[in-house]
Amino acid sequence: MAVVRLQHGNDWTPPVSRIPLELLALVFAHVESKWLVLTVPNVCHTWRNVCREMLAARLDFGWSVVGKYWRDKASALSDQALIWVAPKFPKATSANIDFCRTVTDAGFKVLGESCHQLTAISLWRCERLTDVGLDSIARGCTLLTKVNLWRCEHITDIGIAAVARQCKQLDTFNLSYCENVTDAALEALSESAKRLHTINLSYCTKITDKGLAALAKGCTKLSTVNFTRCTAITDVGVAALASACPRLIKVNLCECTAVADRGLFALAACCPRLVEVNLRYCELITDEGLAVLAAGCPELTHVNISVCDRVTDDGLVALAKGCKKLVTIKLTYCESITDKGMVALAGGCSLLTHVNLSACSQITDDTLIALAEKCKELEEIQVHEIRSITGVGLTALKDGCPKVKVKGAEL
């Protein structure tokens, strides 16, 4: 591109510098943060100022998913780059360092020393982060409210305790797949993280009822919890959580195979605001527990009882009576369910939008006809591995529910 010189003595302005700032901001919004730091600012002074302003609040260097593919590894942030970049953005309030596998504690130390205004940080699968680096971040970034450590496998109770001790404003903590975390970490959170309302401990298999009880005792503002595959948690832990945390609205106990009806009794008695519960693979759950839960938690909108093979039509009848606001129900592999239960559910829960009946082998066209007649807002139904459904039921469903998408069967 030819350079146009403006005749003002020896001064001249390249055309790129005369692009309106608003237009530059719109264009740069579609450019990866990496390039806004490393290359774009080198064009001219104007572009440099726009980039600095755009990045002032948010440092985003994490990997992203484009369609089904990961972004090229070559674009991931390096240790040296983080050490160079972090000091240039002392006013950043959020940082995304997701999947930056080469960044070490040395890089995170500089981040902690440089970005004291951070309130949110995501370190998703930073595989070289250890307790040392996490401690550096916690010491320097005491305003943090949201921390994501998903699959940071070298993090232990020591690092979690450092975050709890230094970051008093912490309200959201993702520790999913941090497999070295034990009850001691939850005890540390209980002592210091009094504002915590959301915690994800999925696949933290060393967590037990003792830790859960300690967490609940100190973090009474908890509203959203995820304990997927925390197989050492039993009804005792669930009861301790429910009694101490009446504000619970979302509880995920997927694959907590030791949880049974008594856990549901506790949730029903203490947590009337509950709107979402995931009990997938809680195979000890029966109709009795589900009935008590439905009666005690009328605000429920999302229920997953897939692979709870002790649940029968009686459980669905109870949901139909108690949970009129239900919009999503997942019943995959509930092979004791029949049309009787589903007809009752359709009649009592007319707001249903998503239904998963895959592998419910006793379901027939009668269920689809009932849904078509009663649940006009239905958007999606899954019927994989159900051989007794025919074109009659599918046609009725299509006619009765104009927005519905059927997965697992075709007309």
Q: Give the separation between CA 128 and CA 23, rounded to whole angstroms.
A: 39
What is the model's pLDDT at position 111? Answer: 97
Q: Is 355 exposed, middle or buried (0-12, 13-18, 19+ CB in 10 A)?
A: buried
Is pLDDT above 50 for 363?
Answer: yes
Assign residue 222 a region: left if phi > 0, alpha if psi is -120 to 50, beta otherwise? beta
Q: Give the separation between CA 279 and CA 62, rounded to whole angstroms.
A: 32
Backbone φ and ψ for 40, nearest 5 degrees, come out as -55, -40
Q: Give the separation between CA 206 and CA 53, rounded to whole angstroms.
A: 44
Is pLDDT above 50 for 368?
Answer: yes
Q: Write the pLDDT tens digit of every residue in 129-184.
A: 999 999 999 999 999 999 999 999 999 999 999 999 999 999 999 999 999 999 99
Is pLDDT above 60 for 69?
Answer: no
Structure tokens at 63: 């990997």
Looking at residues 55-76, what average pLDDT do you find?
54
Task: Identify the residue whose tokens are 């370190």.
Answer: 123
Looking at residues 258-266, what average pLDDT do you find?
98
The pTM for the full model equals 0.88
What is the model's pLDDT at position 23? Answer: 75
Looking at residues 52-58, what average pLDDT do you find?
68
Q: Write the pLDDT tens digit of every residue in 204-236.
A: 999 999 999 999 999 999 999 999 999 999 999
Measure Cα distances from 63 to 23, 121, 124 in Å: 26, 14, 9
Q: Is 23 exposed, middle or buried (0-12, 13-18, 19+ CB in 10 A)?
A: exposed
Looking at residues 34-40, what average pLDDT do you find?
72
Is pLDDT above 50 for 2?
Answer: no
Is pLDDT above 80 for 319?
Answer: yes
Residue 85 confidence class, pLDDT cut points 50, 70, 90: confident
Is pLDDT above 50 for 350?
Answer: yes
Query: Which amino acid is residue 300, in one-letter code?
Result: L
